[in-house]
Chain A
Amino acid sequence: MVALLTLLSALPALAQDAAKEPAYRAFPLIGSRLAVWAIAQLHLNFAAFILGVPIFAVIIEIIGWRTGDAQYDWLSHEFVKLTFAAFSTTALLGALLLFLFIGYYPKFWTYMTSIFFPTYGVYAALFFAETFTVYIWYYGWDWLSGSRKWIHVSLGVLSNVFGTAILLVANSWVTFMISPAGVDESGALKGSVWAAINNFTWMPINIHRLIANIVFGGTIAAAYAAFRFLGAKTDEERARYDWMGYIGNFVALSAFIVLPFAGYYLGREIYAFNQTMGITMMGGFMSWLWIIQAILIGVLFMGSNYYLWLGMERIPGSERYRRYVPMLIGILAFGFMVWATPRSMVITLDEARAMGGTHHPVLGFLGVMSAKNTAVNMMILTTFLSFVLYRRANKVSTKPWVGTGMAIQWAALGLAAAVVIFFGVYGYFVESLVRIGFSVYQVLAVLGAIFVVMAIDIPMFKGARSTGAIRWGTIAPRSQYVLILLAVTFTWLMGLMGFARSGIRQHWHVYGIMRDNSVDAVTPAIGYAANMITVVTIAFFALVLFIFWLGGLGEKGRAEAHGHAAPVIAGGSDRRP
């Protein structure tokens, strides 16, 4: 932290000298690119974690506060504890990354500084504010309880405001490298730095990342819980971590299902910025990358559903619903196949014609996504259905209108599925221009169905008769491996997308403005990238384990810190998450 600030204050002087410096230096042994790659990815992993987790930690805290349920308060504290442990590592990696840039890519860094210098101070200040707020949030947990709880919750909210602001600033640098704006052809800033910040990909990446970070935080927290579950000695501990894993996964899943939409928006903006870049990304040398992305996403969908189904087994009364599982598997598997079909998402001549010439060069590529849109929407619906069945597994509604309610729910789901499929198929018979609009109807149908079903479900099962309490802790241990699978897959996916993000610039540091003239200007093929991603992902998990262990978080049977007693979640408790 201190190192970071010292460095930042030393920058202007460095920038002046930089003119005399060489453009590149070589990092010993592995070369500069791999060094920067590894540290950047690690830094991003940690940063994503410490920005993502507080978002849902504070929501969980608020739930605990409003319902007076100590269990949620404990869980929130547990999540913040994980964040807290990862804080200094994040800062350290950030400082290291800065060292690498200044030392090994001096010319590049000087250029970035010439544009973004005003933002550096903001970044440092925000980082300070964030650290400080989380510090009080964490250590003030007991002090700010009871009637002062609202102050505590506000601190949580505030730390999220700072965290998100940090993300926005850092994203402006990355996105500028992809889609520079506000500069002339020689790369000099034309007006204010705002134009450079607010470039084509900035907002879409902000949104995509924010959501991805929540998913990431959720999966890592769930994996942590799974790890503790597997090592647990008592039933009580098992029950507690089973529940924590469940919530972590629930958070991840809820954010995960909106990620595809954010992804399309990002892809569209990349096309809008530069056709050639968009085409290189989706159809050029990177086209294979998206097949792997699709497979990983398929694994994530399948895994989350499987986890829910396994979870049902610890719920008495769930037998009623198990017969649906084969059907759900069928839909998912089929959706997965369509989603992963290597049809490159490229505009062909006919499609360009159908689009009406010059008029929709940007939206065109979305159009051919018809089948994939349909598949992913069906997978989202299916996952939601799994969740609904899970929710009601041990409940029998006592409301007189239950028959009607259920009928409406099924009708809503059926209707949404019909709308999705109808527009998916019909999309092939109309011009792309019309078809593009269809994906909006599909999304609306899915969101609408989710809304209707939940709006009925919540009152319908209020005060429902229970067929038995959820036996927390009795879930099959293989479910915990599913949670770990999800965390590993998602982390790996982040690495892969990081490669995509940097790779689309090809031999440019700043696309179209500053060429990469280093020995590493070749953008490697996917296999090489995968090896690298795996190495870094292993390093990430090793570091996480080490840090959690250092922080005493791994100690058996002592889940509480400074007097925070873990609540008992008995195997027979009837808590509804």
Chain B
Amino acid sequence: MRLPVAVKVGAFALVVMGTYTYYANSIPQIQSKPPAELSLEGGNVTPAQLVKAGEEIFHTKGTCEICHRIGQKGTRAPDLAGIGARAGKTKPGMSAKQYIIESLLQPGAYLVEGYPNIMPQVDKPPIALNRSEVWALTAFLESQGGNVDVTLDDIPKTAGATAGGAPAEIKIPGDPKAGEVVFSTKGACIACHKAGKIGASPVGPDLSQIAKIQTPDYIMKKILDPAGSGTVAGFPKGVMPPMFGQTLTAKEYVDLVAFLLTLK
């Protein structure tokens, strides 16, 4: 007896899907678990427990390993082995814990040379660590070659408080139109930078998308203190003039920043 077409076609389709399903089940199975909340405020924790908790966060909720490894180079972000030891020497006047906390809460404030500014603020969504978790994480990072001396009070009260709170977007009161004029006249930024339709100089980085790739904080700081904000990879250090803080008036400065923030 000949099988009806529907049966043959059906069996064929099932075999095809079965093959795909079998294959999908035979490769590594990775789930993505939602992170659990950790609260240590008010409790008594030993440094060892803290480090342990921090390590856990590093591997899970923090999702740090998407970019970082410990003791392994060549990933998207610096190797964090020995960070506890080197953190105290990275930025003059900043202790290890201060530097680490800054790296976590304002990753763009200081860029390790050669790396792009892609690290997310760990206390903001989507990672959204709370204050205790930032504390534990700092302790864990300190334990990588350094002393664990961080206390809960070292973590700013504002950390992790944004979940339902104020909008983080900084509203700059300046006038972008006036800022554009400053950019090409008094500021003379145009001598070194391109910004969208204006300018063409290759001396400094193209700023046409600066607001998209950098934080407002960073941009404001970079103008006042170019050397203290890290150097963009591939560009010479110390070329960007350091005296804009003195030469520009407050209004010009605010307008200029407002203009730069329109560049995305």
Instruction: Assess A541 versus B13: contact at CB under 8 Å? Given A184-B167, A348-B76, A359-B232.
Output: yes
List, in ascending order, chain B residues with CB within 8 A of A513's CB. 125
List residues 1-35 of chain B with CB under 8 A from any CB of chain A. 5-6, 8-9, 12-14, 16-18, 20-21, 23-35
B130 to nearest A CB, angstroms? Answer: 13
List, in ascending order, chain A residues with CB within 8 A of B163's CB. 185
Q: Does A437 contact B (CB under 8 A)?
A: no
Identify which of A273-281, A370-378, A419-427 touches chain B: A273-281
List, in ascending order, chain A residues with CB within 8 A of B153's CB. none
Which residue in B8, B30, B75 is a CB contact (below 8 Å) of A285? Answer: B30
Instruction: Assess A358 versus B34: contact at CB under 8 Å? Given A184-B169, A537-B17.
Output: no
Q: Does B63 contact A (CB under 8 A)?
A: yes
Q: In whole angstroms, what is the CA distance A413 to B30 when docked?
A: 43
- How many residue pairs link A and B with beta carbons under 8 A? The number is 183
Which residue in A279, A291, A503, A528 is a CB contact (below 8 Å) of B76? Answer: A279
Identify which of A25-33, A306-314, A481-489, A560-568 touches chain B: A481-489
A530 and B164 contacting across the interface, CB-CB below 8 Å: no
A89 to nearest B CB, angstroms? Answer: 19
A358 and B117 contacting across the interface, CB-CB below 8 Å: yes
Size of B's binding interface in residues, CB under 8 A: 62
List, in ascending order, chain A residues with CB within 8 A of B120's CB. 274-276
Q: Does B73 contact A (CB under 8 A)?
A: yes
A283 and B66 contacting across the interface, CB-CB below 8 Å: yes
Q: In whole angstroms, what is the CA distance A357 to B230 when docked?
A: 11
Q: Does A284 contact B (CB under 8 A)?
A: yes
- Looking at chain B's contact residues, the main secondary structure is loop
A357 and B167 contacting across the interface, CB-CB below 8 Å: no
B261 to nearest A CB, angstroms? Answer: 16
Residue from A362, A488, A511 whose CB has the most chain B CB atoms within 10 Å: A488
Q: Does B162 contact A (CB under 8 A)?
A: yes
List, in ascending order, chain A residues with CB within 8 A of B118's CB. 275, 361
B9 and A507 contacting across the interface, CB-CB below 8 Å: no
A293 to nearest B CB, angstroms? Answer: 11
B74 and A526 contacting across the interface, CB-CB below 8 Å: no
A534 and B20 contacting across the interface, CB-CB below 8 Å: yes
Instruction: Assess A357 versus B233: contact at CB under 8 Å? Given A184-B169, A227-B5, A488-B13.
Output: yes
List, in ascending order, chain B residues with CB within 8 A of A523's CB. 31-32
Residues on B facing A (Cβ under 8 Å): 5-6, 8-9, 12-14, 16-18, 20-21, 23-35, 63, 66-67, 73-77, 111, 114-118, 120, 124-128, 162-169, 205-206, 212-214, 232-235
Show 9 residue pairs from A and B whose CB-CB distance is below 8 angstroms, ordered by the A residue.
A275-B118, A276-B66, A276-B126, A484-B9, A484-B13, A507-B35, A516-B34, A522-B31, A522-B32
4 further A-B contacts with Cβ under 8 Å, apart from A356-B205, A534-B20, A545-B6, are A284-B66, A349-B115, A352-B116, A525-B30
